[in-house]
A and B are shown apart, each in its own frame.
Chain A
Protein backbone atom coordinates (compact mmCIF):
# COMPACT_ATOMS: atom_id res chain seq x y z
CA UNK A 1 0.00 0.00 0.00
CA UNK A 2 2.71 2.44 1.00
CA UNK A 3 4.67 1.26 -2.04
CA UNK A 4 1.79 2.49 -4.20
CA UNK A 5 2.22 6.06 -2.93
CA UNK A 6 5.66 6.07 -4.55
CA UNK A 7 4.19 6.65 -7.98
CA UNK A 8 2.97 10.18 -7.24
CA UNK A 9 5.48 11.47 -4.71
CA UNK A 10 8.88 12.33 -6.19
CA UNK A 11 10.51 12.76 -2.77
CA UNK A 12 9.43 9.30 -1.61
CA UNK A 13 10.45 7.87 -4.99
CA UNK A 14 13.92 9.36 -4.54
CA UNK A 15 14.10 7.81 -1.06
CA UNK A 16 13.15 4.39 -2.40
CA UNK A 17 15.70 4.73 -5.20
CA UNK A 18 18.45 5.44 -2.65
CA UNK A 19 17.33 2.50 -0.52
CA UNK A 20 17.46 0.16 -3.52
CA UNK A 21 20.85 1.56 -4.54
CA UNK A 22 22.24 1.07 -1.05
CA UNK A 23 20.99 -2.55 -0.98
CA UNK A 24 22.65 -3.15 -4.35
CA UNK A 25 25.95 -1.77 -3.05
CA UNK A 26 25.68 -3.88 0.11
CA UNK A 27 24.99 -7.01 -1.98
CA UNK A 28 28.01 -6.19 -4.13
CA UNK A 29 30.28 -5.84 -1.07
CA UNK A 30 29.27 -9.29 0.12
CA UNK A 31 28.89 -11.20 -3.15
CA UNK A 32 27.87 -14.57 -1.64
CA UNK A 33 24.54 -14.35 -3.45
CA UNK A 34 26.29 -13.60 -6.71
CA UNK A 35 28.56 -16.63 -6.35
CA UNK A 36 25.70 -19.05 -5.62
CA UNK A 37 23.18 -17.63 -8.09
CA UNK A 38 25.58 -17.00 -10.98
CA UNK A 39 28.83 -18.88 -10.30
CA UNK A 40 27.41 -22.31 -9.50
CA UNK A 41 25.04 -22.67 -12.51
CA UNK A 42 27.72 -21.22 -14.78
CA UNK A 43 30.21 -23.84 -13.59
CA UNK A 44 27.67 -26.62 -14.18
CA UNK A 45 26.91 -25.24 -17.66
CA UNK A 46 30.60 -25.23 -18.58
CA UNK A 47 31.21 -28.74 -17.18
CA UNK A 48 28.24 -30.40 -18.87
CA UNK A 49 28.68 -28.37 -22.05
CA UNK A 50 32.28 -29.63 -22.35
CA UNK A 51 31.43 -33.33 -22.12
CA UNK A 52 30.94 -34.43 -25.74
CA UNK A 53 28.29 -37.12 -25.04
CA UNK A 54 25.91 -34.64 -23.35
CA UNK A 55 25.35 -32.76 -26.59
CA UNK A 56 24.28 -35.88 -28.55
CA UNK A 57 20.52 -36.35 -29.09
CA UNK A 58 19.15 -39.21 -26.95
CA UNK A 59 16.04 -41.33 -27.47
CA UNK A 60 15.35 -41.41 -23.67
CA UNK A 61 14.98 -37.63 -23.72
CA UNK A 62 12.63 -37.66 -26.73
CA UNK A 63 15.34 -37.10 -29.29
CA UNK A 64 17.05 -34.10 -27.72
CA UNK A 65 20.41 -33.85 -25.97
CA UNK A 66 21.03 -33.82 -22.23
CA UNK A 67 22.53 -30.35 -22.60
CA UNK A 68 19.36 -28.97 -24.20
CA UNK A 69 17.40 -30.45 -21.33
CA UNK A 70 19.79 -29.14 -18.68
CA UNK A 71 19.84 -25.46 -19.66
CA UNK A 72 16.22 -24.82 -18.50
CA UNK A 73 17.10 -26.66 -15.27
CA UNK A 74 20.06 -24.31 -14.71
CA UNK A 75 17.90 -21.27 -15.44
CA UNK A 76 15.41 -22.46 -12.82
CA UNK A 77 18.41 -23.05 -10.49
CA UNK A 78 19.31 -19.34 -10.73
CA UNK A 79 15.75 -18.42 -9.76
CA UNK A 80 15.63 -20.75 -6.74
CA UNK A 81 19.03 -19.46 -5.64
CA UNK A 82 17.95 -15.79 -5.63
CA UNK A 83 14.48 -16.41 -4.15
CA UNK A 84 14.74 -19.30 -1.72
CA UNK A 85 18.51 -19.28 -1.28
CA UNK A 86 19.48 -15.66 -0.66
CA UNK A 87 16.42 -13.62 0.30
CA UNK A 88 15.27 -15.31 3.55
CA UNK A 89 18.67 -15.21 5.23
CA UNK A 90 19.21 -11.56 4.36
CA UNK A 91 15.78 -10.54 5.67
CA UNK A 92 16.10 -12.66 8.82
CA UNK A 93 19.51 -11.07 9.47
CA UNK A 94 18.08 -7.58 9.04
CA UNK A 95 15.31 -8.45 11.44
CA UNK A 96 17.69 -9.89 14.04
CA UNK A 97 20.15 -6.99 13.81
CA UNK A 98 17.34 -4.47 14.29
CA UNK A 99 17.60 -2.94 10.81
CA UNK A 100 13.85 -3.33 10.21
CA UNK A 101 13.11 -1.97 13.68
CA UNK A 102 15.33 1.07 13.10
CA UNK A 103 13.47 1.78 9.87
CA UNK A 104 10.12 1.57 11.69
CA UNK A 105 10.99 4.76 13.57
CA UNK A 106 11.45 6.79 10.36
CA UNK A 107 8.76 8.07 7.98
CA UNK A 108 9.72 5.16 5.71
CA UNK A 109 7.98 1.82 6.45
CA UNK A 110 10.16 -1.31 6.85
CA UNK A 111 8.23 -2.98 4.02
CA UNK A 112 10.32 -0.79 1.69
CA UNK A 113 13.39 -2.76 2.69
CA UNK A 114 11.61 -5.99 1.70
CA UNK A 115 10.75 -4.46 -1.64
CA UNK A 116 14.34 -3.27 -2.15
CA UNK A 117 15.67 -6.72 -1.26
CA UNK A 118 13.30 -8.31 -3.79
CA UNK A 119 14.58 -5.77 -6.30
CA UNK A 120 18.15 -6.90 -5.60
CA UNK A 121 17.07 -10.55 -6.07
CA UNK A 122 15.45 -9.76 -9.41
CA UNK A 123 18.59 -7.93 -10.58
CA UNK A 124 20.70 -10.96 -9.56
CA UNK A 125 18.30 -13.23 -11.47
CA UNK A 126 18.59 -11.08 -14.60
CA UNK A 127 22.41 -11.16 -14.35
CA UNK A 128 22.44 -14.93 -13.79
CA UNK A 129 20.05 -15.73 -16.65
CA UNK A 130 21.84 -13.36 -19.04
CA UNK A 131 25.28 -14.80 -18.30
CA UNK A 132 24.05 -18.41 -18.59
CA UNK A 133 22.35 -17.77 -21.93
CA UNK A 134 25.25 -15.66 -23.21
CA UNK A 135 27.89 -18.27 -22.38
CA UNK A 136 25.61 -21.04 -23.67
CA UNK A 137 25.13 -19.33 -27.02
CA UNK A 138 28.74 -18.19 -27.47
CA UNK A 139 30.59 -21.24 -26.21
CA UNK A 140 28.25 -24.21 -26.55
CA UNK A 141 26.02 -23.47 -29.57
CA UNK A 142 22.94 -23.16 -27.38
CA UNK A 143 19.82 -22.64 -29.51
CA UNK A 144 17.63 -19.83 -28.19
CA UNK A 145 13.88 -20.10 -28.81
CA UNK A 146 13.35 -19.26 -32.49
CA UNK A 147 9.60 -19.43 -32.99
CA UNK A 148 7.71 -16.14 -33.02
CA UNK A 149 6.74 -15.34 -29.46
CA UNK A 150 8.96 -18.11 -28.11
CA UNK A 151 11.27 -15.59 -26.44
CA UNK A 152 8.30 -13.83 -24.85
CA UNK A 153 6.91 -17.12 -23.57
CA UNK A 154 10.33 -17.97 -22.13
CA UNK A 155 10.45 -14.58 -20.44
CA UNK A 156 6.93 -15.02 -19.05
CA UNK A 157 7.84 -18.48 -17.73
CA UNK A 158 10.99 -17.11 -16.05
CA UNK A 159 9.12 -14.14 -14.54
CA UNK A 160 6.38 -16.37 -13.09
CA UNK A 161 8.99 -18.79 -11.73
CA UNK A 162 10.97 -16.04 -9.99
CA UNK A 163 7.74 -14.60 -8.57
CA UNK A 164 6.98 -18.03 -7.07
CA UNK A 165 10.48 -18.54 -5.62
CA UNK A 166 10.54 -14.98 -4.18
CA UNK A 167 7.15 -15.66 -2.57
CA UNK A 168 8.50 -18.85 -1.01
CA UNK A 169 11.59 -16.96 0.15
CA UNK A 170 9.42 -14.30 1.80
CA UNK A 171 7.38 -17.03 3.55
CA UNK A 172 10.59 -18.59 4.86
CA UNK A 173 11.78 -15.20 6.11
CA UNK A 174 8.37 -14.56 7.66
CA UNK A 175 8.36 -17.80 9.65
CA UNK A 176 12.04 -18.20 10.54
CA UNK A 177 12.83 -16.97 14.05
CA UNK A 178 16.52 -16.40 13.33
CA UNK A 179 18.99 -16.20 10.42
CA UNK A 180 20.23 -19.70 11.34
CA UNK A 181 16.74 -21.20 11.07
CA UNK A 182 16.16 -19.26 7.85
CA UNK A 183 19.37 -20.77 6.50
CA UNK A 184 18.39 -24.32 7.43
CA UNK A 185 14.87 -24.02 6.01
CA UNK A 186 16.28 -22.39 2.84
CA UNK A 187 18.69 -25.28 2.35
CA UNK A 188 15.92 -27.86 2.78
CA UNK A 189 13.62 -26.07 0.33
CA UNK A 190 16.51 -25.48 -2.05
CA UNK A 191 17.60 -29.13 -2.38
CA UNK A 192 14.05 -30.48 -2.64
CA UNK A 193 12.98 -27.86 -5.19
CA UNK A 194 16.19 -28.31 -7.17
CA UNK A 195 15.50 -32.05 -7.46
CA UNK A 196 12.15 -31.37 -9.12
CA UNK A 197 13.77 -29.01 -11.59
CA UNK A 198 15.92 -31.97 -12.71
CA UNK A 199 19.20 -30.72 -11.26
CA UNK A 200 20.44 -34.13 -10.06
CA UNK A 201 18.89 -36.38 -12.74
CA UNK A 202 16.57 -35.44 -15.57
CA UNK A 203 13.02 -36.21 -14.46
CA UNK A 204 12.40 -37.63 -17.95
CA UNK A 205 14.55 -40.60 -17.01
CA UNK A 206 12.45 -41.40 -13.93
CA UNK A 207 9.55 -43.78 -14.53
CA UNK A 208 7.19 -42.80 -11.74
CA UNK A 209 3.85 -41.09 -12.22
CA UNK A 210 3.96 -39.94 -8.58
CA UNK A 211 7.26 -38.07 -9.05
CA UNK A 212 5.93 -36.44 -12.21
CA UNK A 213 2.67 -35.47 -10.50
CA UNK A 214 4.57 -33.87 -7.60
CA UNK A 215 6.92 -32.11 -10.01
CA UNK A 216 4.00 -30.60 -11.94
CA UNK A 217 2.50 -29.20 -8.73
CA UNK A 218 5.75 -27.60 -7.50
CA UNK A 219 7.08 -24.24 -8.73
CA UNK A 220 10.38 -25.70 -9.94
CA UNK A 221 8.79 -28.61 -11.85
CA UNK A 222 6.23 -26.31 -13.40
CA UNK A 223 8.95 -23.70 -14.03
CA UNK A 224 11.12 -26.29 -15.77
CA UNK A 225 8.18 -27.50 -17.92
CA UNK A 226 7.29 -23.96 -18.96
CA UNK A 227 10.85 -22.84 -19.73
CA UNK A 228 11.75 -26.11 -21.46
CA UNK A 229 8.67 -26.04 -23.71
CA UNK A 230 9.12 -22.42 -24.72
CA UNK A 231 12.81 -23.08 -25.45
CA UNK A 232 11.86 -25.87 -27.83
CA UNK A 233 9.47 -23.49 -29.56
CA UNK A 234 6.40 -25.19 -28.14
CA UNK A 235 3.60 -23.52 -26.19
CA UNK A 236 4.08 -24.42 -22.52
CA UNK A 237 0.38 -24.99 -21.99
CA UNK A 238 -1.75 -23.25 -19.42
CA UNK A 239 -1.18 -25.67 -16.55
CA UNK A 240 2.44 -24.88 -15.57
CA UNK A 241 1.81 -21.14 -15.92
CA UNK A 242 -1.27 -21.37 -13.70
CA UNK A 243 0.63 -23.45 -11.13
CA UNK A 244 3.42 -20.84 -11.05
CA UNK A 245 0.97 -17.94 -10.76
CA UNK A 246 -0.88 -19.67 -7.94
CA UNK A 247 2.38 -20.29 -5.99
CA UNK A 248 3.41 -16.65 -6.48
CA UNK A 249 0.09 -15.22 -5.27
CA UNK A 250 -0.56 -17.62 -2.38
CA UNK A 251 2.98 -17.44 -0.99
CA UNK A 252 3.11 -13.63 -1.20
CA UNK A 253 -0.24 -13.26 0.56
CA UNK A 254 0.81 -15.74 3.23
CA UNK A 255 4.11 -13.89 3.74
CA UNK A 256 2.30 -10.54 4.01
CA UNK A 257 0.06 -11.99 6.73
CA UNK A 258 2.76 -13.82 8.64
CA UNK A 259 5.74 -11.47 8.41
CA UNK A 260 7.16 -10.41 11.78
CA UNK A 261 9.07 -7.15 11.83
CA UNK A 262 10.95 -8.01 15.00
Chain B
Protein backbone atom coordinates (compact mmCIF):
# COMPACT_ATOMS: atom_id res chain seq x y z
CA UNK B 1 0.00 0.00 0.00
CA UNK B 2 2.88 2.34 0.69
CA UNK B 3 4.39 1.54 -2.68
CA UNK B 4 2.38 4.13 -4.55
CA UNK B 5 3.49 6.77 -2.12
CA UNK B 6 7.21 6.17 -2.20
CA UNK B 7 7.81 5.45 -5.86
CA UNK B 8 9.13 8.61 -7.49
CA UNK B 9 6.68 9.90 -10.07
CA UNK B 10 7.58 11.52 -13.36
CA UNK B 11 7.62 15.03 -12.00
CA UNK B 12 10.06 13.99 -9.34
CA UNK B 13 12.33 12.38 -11.92
CA UNK B 14 12.23 15.51 -13.99
CA UNK B 15 13.30 17.52 -10.98
CA UNK B 16 16.07 15.27 -9.72
CA UNK B 17 17.12 13.54 -12.93
CA UNK B 18 20.34 14.02 -14.83
CA UNK B 19 18.68 15.98 -17.63
CA UNK B 20 16.89 18.36 -15.30
CA UNK B 21 17.03 22.01 -16.39
CA UNK B 22 19.07 24.31 -14.16
CA UNK B 23 17.21 25.61 -11.10
CA UNK B 24 15.60 29.05 -11.21
CA UNK B 25 16.24 29.69 -7.51
CA UNK B 26 19.30 28.54 -5.60
CA UNK B 27 19.68 29.30 -1.92
CA UNK B 28 22.76 28.01 -0.12
CA UNK B 29 23.41 28.28 3.62
CA UNK B 30 21.34 31.39 4.10
CA UNK B 31 21.66 33.00 7.52
CA UNK B 32 19.94 36.11 8.82
CA UNK B 33 19.87 37.61 12.31
CA UNK B 34 18.05 40.63 13.73
CA UNK B 35 20.23 41.78 16.59
CA UNK B 36 20.34 38.92 19.08
CA UNK B 37 17.53 37.00 17.33
CA UNK B 38 18.47 34.45 14.68
CA UNK B 39 15.58 34.36 12.21
CA UNK B 40 17.25 32.03 9.73
CA UNK B 41 20.05 29.75 10.88
CA UNK B 42 20.98 27.71 7.81
CA UNK B 43 18.61 27.35 4.87
CA UNK B 44 19.44 25.76 1.51
CA UNK B 45 17.17 24.68 -1.33
CA UNK B 46 16.75 24.88 -5.08
CA UNK B 47 13.60 25.43 -7.11
CA UNK B 48 13.24 23.88 -10.57
CA UNK B 49 11.50 25.72 -13.41
CA UNK B 50 7.78 25.01 -13.60
CA UNK B 51 7.35 23.46 -10.18
CA UNK B 52 5.23 24.57 -7.26
CA UNK B 53 7.66 24.68 -4.39
CA UNK B 54 6.36 24.96 -0.85
CA UNK B 55 8.11 26.57 2.08
CA UNK B 56 6.36 25.19 5.11
CA UNK B 57 6.72 25.91 8.79
CA UNK B 58 5.15 27.29 11.92
CA UNK B 59 4.76 31.00 12.46
CA UNK B 60 8.17 32.43 13.29
CA UNK B 61 10.09 29.51 11.77
CA UNK B 62 11.95 31.80 9.36
CA UNK B 63 9.82 31.39 6.22
CA UNK B 64 9.06 35.04 5.60
CA UNK B 65 12.64 36.14 6.30
CA UNK B 66 13.85 33.53 3.79
CA UNK B 67 11.46 34.86 1.16
CA UNK B 68 12.42 38.47 1.92
CA UNK B 69 16.07 37.61 1.31
CA UNK B 70 15.18 35.78 -1.93
CA UNK B 71 13.24 38.81 -3.21
CA UNK B 72 16.00 41.24 -2.23
CA UNK B 73 14.00 43.03 0.46
CA UNK B 74 16.60 42.05 3.03
CA UNK B 75 20.33 41.39 2.84
CA UNK B 76 21.45 37.97 4.04
CA UNK B 77 24.16 37.89 6.71
CA UNK B 78 25.73 34.80 5.18
CA UNK B 79 25.16 32.36 2.32
CA UNK B 80 24.41 32.84 -1.33
CA UNK B 81 21.19 33.41 -3.24
CA UNK B 82 20.72 33.27 -6.98
CA UNK B 83 17.36 33.94 -8.61
CA UNK B 84 17.19 33.54 -12.42
CA UNK B 85 20.93 34.05 -12.35
CA UNK B 86 20.61 37.37 -10.53
CA UNK B 87 21.87 38.38 -7.11
CA UNK B 88 18.75 39.82 -5.44
CA UNK B 89 20.69 42.54 -3.62
CA UNK B 90 22.56 43.82 -6.65
CA UNK B 91 20.25 43.23 -9.62
CA UNK B 92 17.07 44.13 -7.78
CA UNK B 93 15.38 45.98 -10.59
CA UNK B 94 16.06 43.29 -13.19
CA UNK B 95 14.92 40.63 -10.74
CA UNK B 96 11.70 42.48 -9.92
CA UNK B 97 10.89 42.65 -13.64
CA UNK B 98 10.88 38.85 -13.76
CA UNK B 99 9.70 37.83 -10.29
CA UNK B 100 6.19 38.66 -9.07
CA UNK B 101 5.72 38.86 -5.32
CA UNK B 102 2.67 38.70 -3.13
CA UNK B 103 3.65 39.75 0.37
CA UNK B 104 2.01 38.93 3.66
CA UNK B 105 2.34 42.52 4.86
CA UNK B 106 2.07 44.47 1.65
CA UNK B 107 -0.88 46.62 0.77
CA UNK B 108 -2.26 49.36 -1.44
CA UNK B 109 -3.49 52.84 -0.53
CA UNK B 110 -7.02 52.59 0.88
CA UNK B 111 -8.61 54.82 -1.70
CA UNK B 112 -7.06 53.50 -4.91
CA UNK B 113 -9.56 51.77 -7.20
CA UNK B 114 -8.98 48.22 -8.38
CA UNK B 115 -8.58 49.08 -12.07
CA UNK B 116 -6.30 52.02 -11.21
CA UNK B 117 -4.02 49.80 -9.15
CA UNK B 118 -3.85 47.26 -11.97
CA UNK B 119 -3.11 49.90 -14.60
CA UNK B 120 -0.51 51.54 -12.34
CA UNK B 121 1.32 48.30 -11.55
CA UNK B 122 1.19 47.25 -15.21
CA UNK B 123 3.07 50.45 -16.11
CA UNK B 124 5.97 49.41 -13.87
CA UNK B 125 6.89 46.41 -16.05
CA UNK B 126 8.54 45.91 -19.45
CA UNK B 127 6.05 43.29 -20.60
CA UNK B 128 2.86 43.64 -18.62
CA UNK B 129 0.13 41.01 -18.83
CA UNK B 130 -3.44 41.90 -19.81
CA UNK B 131 -4.85 43.42 -16.62
CA UNK B 132 -8.52 43.04 -17.61
CA UNK B 133 -7.99 39.39 -18.41
CA UNK B 134 -6.32 38.80 -15.03
CA UNK B 135 -9.15 40.58 -13.23
CA UNK B 136 -11.59 38.37 -15.11
CA UNK B 137 -9.68 35.20 -14.28
CA UNK B 138 -9.60 36.09 -10.61
CA UNK B 139 -13.25 37.02 -10.49
CA UNK B 140 -12.61 40.70 -9.82
CA UNK B 141 -14.13 42.14 -12.99
CA UNK B 142 -17.23 43.30 -11.12
CA UNK B 143 -15.07 45.01 -8.46
CA UNK B 144 -13.10 47.11 -10.97
CA UNK B 145 -14.41 50.43 -9.67
CA UNK B 146 -14.25 49.57 -5.97
CA UNK B 147 -11.65 51.19 -3.77
CA UNK B 148 -9.15 48.87 -2.09
CA UNK B 149 -10.62 49.70 1.32
CA UNK B 150 -14.06 48.43 0.34
CA UNK B 151 -12.86 45.01 -0.88
CA UNK B 152 -13.47 41.88 1.18
CA UNK B 153 -10.50 39.94 2.55
CA UNK B 154 -10.74 37.43 -0.27
CA UNK B 155 -10.96 40.14 -2.93
CA UNK B 156 -7.89 41.90 -1.50
CA UNK B 157 -6.02 38.61 -1.55
CA UNK B 158 -7.05 37.97 -5.17
CA UNK B 159 -6.07 41.50 -6.18
CA UNK B 160 -2.65 40.97 -4.66
CA UNK B 161 -2.34 37.83 -6.80
CA UNK B 162 -3.31 39.88 -9.88
CA UNK B 163 -0.57 42.39 -9.02
CA UNK B 164 1.96 39.60 -8.46
CA UNK B 165 1.21 38.33 -11.99
CA UNK B 166 0.74 41.65 -13.81
CA UNK B 167 4.39 41.81 -14.89
CA UNK B 168 4.22 38.41 -16.68
CA UNK B 169 6.71 36.97 -14.18
CA UNK B 170 8.73 33.80 -14.67
CA UNK B 171 8.50 33.14 -10.93
CA UNK B 172 5.66 34.07 -8.58
CA UNK B 173 6.39 34.12 -4.87
CA UNK B 174 3.21 33.96 -2.80
CA UNK B 175 3.41 34.42 0.97
CA UNK B 176 0.51 33.08 3.08
CA UNK B 177 -1.71 33.18 0.04
CA UNK B 178 -4.94 31.85 1.51
CA UNK B 179 -4.68 33.07 5.09
CA UNK B 180 -7.98 34.64 6.08
CA UNK B 181 -9.96 33.10 3.22
CA UNK B 182 -13.00 30.93 3.81
CA UNK B 183 -12.72 27.28 2.69
CA UNK B 184 -14.61 27.89 -0.57
CA UNK B 185 -12.38 30.84 -1.57
CA UNK B 186 -9.33 28.85 -0.53
CA UNK B 187 -10.18 25.97 -2.84
CA UNK B 188 -10.94 28.43 -5.64
CA UNK B 189 -7.52 30.02 -5.14
CA UNK B 190 -5.80 26.65 -5.21
CA UNK B 191 -7.39 25.81 -8.57
CA UNK B 192 -6.19 29.16 -9.80
CA UNK B 193 -2.60 28.53 -8.69
CA UNK B 194 -2.61 25.31 -10.66
CA UNK B 195 -3.83 27.16 -13.75
CA UNK B 196 -1.02 29.69 -13.35
CA UNK B 197 1.53 26.93 -13.09
CA UNK B 198 0.08 25.39 -16.25
CA UNK B 199 1.05 28.62 -18.02
CA UNK B 200 4.67 27.84 -17.18
CA UNK B 201 5.13 30.10 -14.17
CA UNK B 202 7.28 28.69 -11.38
CA UNK B 203 5.57 29.17 -8.04
CA UNK B 204 7.05 29.46 -4.56
CA UNK B 205 4.33 29.07 -1.98
CA UNK B 206 4.97 30.06 1.63
CA UNK B 207 2.41 28.54 3.95
CA UNK B 208 1.71 27.12 7.35
CA UNK B 209 -1.28 25.16 6.04
CA UNK B 210 -0.40 21.51 5.59
CA UNK B 211 -3.49 20.86 3.48
CA UNK B 212 -2.46 23.61 1.08
CA UNK B 213 1.05 22.22 0.69
CA UNK B 214 -0.25 18.67 0.24
CA UNK B 215 -2.74 19.72 -2.39
CA UNK B 216 -0.54 22.03 -4.45
CA UNK B 217 3.17 21.52 -4.00
CA UNK B 218 5.45 19.31 -6.05
CA UNK B 219 8.03 19.55 -3.30
CA UNK B 220 8.13 21.18 0.10
CA UNK B 221 10.91 22.39 2.34
CA UNK B 222 9.98 22.10 6.01
CA UNK B 223 11.56 24.93 7.94
CA UNK B 224 11.82 24.79 11.71
CA UNK B 225 13.78 27.14 13.96
CA UNK B 226 15.57 28.65 10.99
CA UNK B 227 16.68 25.35 9.43
CA UNK B 228 15.42 23.11 6.64
CA UNK B 229 14.57 19.91 8.49
CA UNK B 230 13.14 18.03 5.50
CA UNK B 231 12.80 18.53 1.76
CA UNK B 232 10.83 16.16 -0.45
CA UNK B 233 7.49 15.55 -2.17
CA UNK B 234 4.68 16.02 0.35
CA UNK B 235 3.50 12.39 0.10
CA UNK B 236 7.00 10.97 0.42
CA UNK B 237 7.71 13.23 3.35
CA UNK B 238 4.52 12.23 5.08
CA UNK B 239 5.10 8.52 4.65
CA UNK B 240 8.76 8.64 5.60
CA UNK B 241 8.30 10.72 8.70
CA UNK B 242 4.91 9.71 10.01
CA UNK B 243 4.67 6.16 8.66
CA UNK B 244 1.53 4.52 7.32
CA UNK B 245 -1.64 3.99 9.21
CA UNK B 246 -4.12 1.14 9.13
CA UNK B 247 -7.57 1.21 10.71
CA UNK B 248 -9.29 -2.05 11.50
CA UNK B 249 -11.72 -3.79 13.81
CA UNK B 250 -10.49 -6.76 15.79
CA UNK B 251 -11.29 -8.36 19.14
CA UNK B 252 -9.50 -6.37 21.83
CA UNK B 253 -7.41 -6.45 23.90
CA UNK B 254 -5.66 -9.56 22.60
CA UNK B 255 -5.29 -7.97 19.16
CA UNK B 256 -3.64 -4.86 20.59
CA UNK B 257 -0.94 -6.90 22.28
CA UNK B 258 -0.33 -9.01 19.20
CA UNK B 259 -0.08 -6.00 16.96
CA UNK B 260 2.42 -4.21 19.20
CA UNK B 261 4.76 -7.16 18.72
CA UNK B 262 4.74 -6.91 14.91
CA UNK B 263 8.08 -5.60 13.55
CA UNK B 264 7.59 -2.19 11.94
CA UNK B 265 4.58 -1.21 14.06
CA UNK B 266 5.32 1.88 16.11
CA UNK B 267 1.97 2.55 17.76
CA UNK B 268 -1.42 0.94 18.33
CA UNK B 269 -4.26 3.11 19.54
CA UNK B 270 -7.88 2.39 20.25
CA UNK B 271 -10.35 4.86 18.77
CA UNK B 272 -13.80 3.71 19.82
CA UNK B 273 -14.45 0.32 18.25
CA UNK B 274 -11.45 0.72 15.93
CA UNK B 275 -7.77 0.07 16.27
CA UNK B 276 -5.38 2.48 14.59
CA UNK B 277 -2.00 0.94 13.81
CA UNK B 278 0.89 3.17 12.81
CA UNK B 279 4.10 1.86 11.38
CA UNK B 280 6.35 1.36 8.37
CA UNK B 281 6.81 -1.30 5.75
CA UNK B 282 4.03 -3.39 4.21
CA UNK B 283 1.77 -2.60 7.13
CA UNK B 284 -1.58 -3.97 5.93
CA UNK B 285 -0.24 -7.41 5.09
CA UNK B 286 1.86 -7.60 8.24
CA UNK B 287 -1.05 -6.64 10.47
CA UNK B 288 -3.57 -9.01 8.89
CA UNK B 289 -1.11 -11.93 8.90
CA UNK B 290 -0.12 -11.34 12.51
CA UNK B 291 -3.77 -11.39 13.59
CA UNK B 292 -4.48 -14.46 11.45
CA UNK B 293 -1.61 -16.32 13.05
CA UNK B 294 -3.12 -15.56 16.42
CA UNK B 295 -6.44 -16.92 15.19
CA UNK B 296 -8.02 -13.47 15.13
CA UNK B 297 -9.99 -12.07 12.28
CA UNK B 298 -9.49 -8.46 11.21
CA UNK B 299 -12.47 -6.64 9.79
CA UNK B 300 -12.95 -3.36 7.95
CA UNK B 301 -9.22 -3.05 7.22
CA UNK B 302 -8.57 0.38 5.77
CA UNK B 303 -5.11 1.76 5.01
CA UNK B 304 -4.88 5.52 5.51
CA UNK B 305 -2.73 7.90 3.55
CA UNK B 306 -0.16 9.57 5.76
CA UNK B 307 -0.80 13.24 6.34
CA UNK B 308 1.84 15.88 5.95
CA UNK B 309 0.63 17.32 9.20
CA UNK B 310 1.68 14.20 11.09
CA UNK B 311 5.06 14.30 9.39
CA UNK B 312 5.44 17.94 10.32
CA UNK B 313 4.65 17.31 13.96
CA UNK B 314 6.94 14.29 14.08
CA UNK B 315 9.82 16.11 12.41
CA UNK B 316 9.57 19.34 14.37
CA UNK B 317 9.28 17.34 17.59
CA UNK B 318 12.37 15.41 16.56
CA UNK B 319 14.23 18.60 15.82
CA UNK B 320 13.35 19.99 19.22
CA UNK B 321 14.24 16.77 21.11
CA UNK B 322 16.81 14.93 18.98
CA UNK B 323 17.55 12.34 21.71
CA UNK B 324 13.92 11.59 22.56
CA UNK B 325 13.47 7.90 21.66
CA UNK B 326 9.70 8.31 21.34
CA UNK B 327 10.14 10.79 18.53
CA UNK B 328 12.72 8.97 16.47
CA UNK B 329 11.34 6.42 14.10
Contacts and interface: CB of A to CB of B under 8 A. Distances in A.
A106 B96 contact: yes
**Dominant secondary structure of chain B at its interface with chain A:** loop
Contacts of A25: 111-112, 116
Nearest to B93: A107
A41 to B, nearest CB: 25
Given A29-B147, A107-B93, A107-B125, A102 B120 contact: no
Contacts of A101: 73, 103, 105-106
Nearest to A14: B123
Contacts of B93: 107
Contacts of B167: 106-107
A211 B116 CA distance: 49
B273 interface: no
Interface in A1-50: 11, 14-15, 18-19, 22-23, 25-26, 29-30
Contacts of A14: 123
Contact of A26 (B97, B109, B121, B125): B109
A122 B192 CA distance: 43
Contacts of A15: 120, 123-124
Contacts of B111: 25-26, 29-30
B161 to A, nearest CB: 13
B73 A105 contact: yes
**Dominant secondary structure of chain A at its interface with chain B:** helix
A205 to B, nearest CB: 44
B103 A105 contact: yes
Nearest to B105: A98
Contacts of A56: none
Contacts of A204: none
Contacts of B107: 97-99, 102
Nearest to A108: B124
- Chain A interface size band reads 20 to 34
Contacts of A108: 124
Given A22-B112, A26-B111, A104 B73 contact: yes
Contact of A102 (B103, B110, B125): B103
Nearest 7 pairs of A and B residues by beta carbon: A102-B106, A105-B101, A15-B123, A98-B107, A29-B111, A98-B106, A108-B124
Interface of A: 11, 14-15, 18-19, 22-23, 25-26, 29-30, 94, 97-99, 101-102, 104-108
16 contacts: A14-B123, A15-B120, A18-B120, A19-B120, A29-B111, A97-B109, A98-B105, A98-B107, A99-B106, A99-B108, A102-B103, A105-B103, A106-B96, A107-B93, A107-B97, A107-B126
Given A18-B120, A25-B112, A97-B109, 17 more contacts: A14-B123, A18-B123, A22-B109, A22-B120, A25-B111, A26-B109, A30-B111, A97-B107, A99-B106, A99-B109, A101-B105, A102-B106, A105-B71, A107-B96, A107-B97, A107-B124, A107-B167
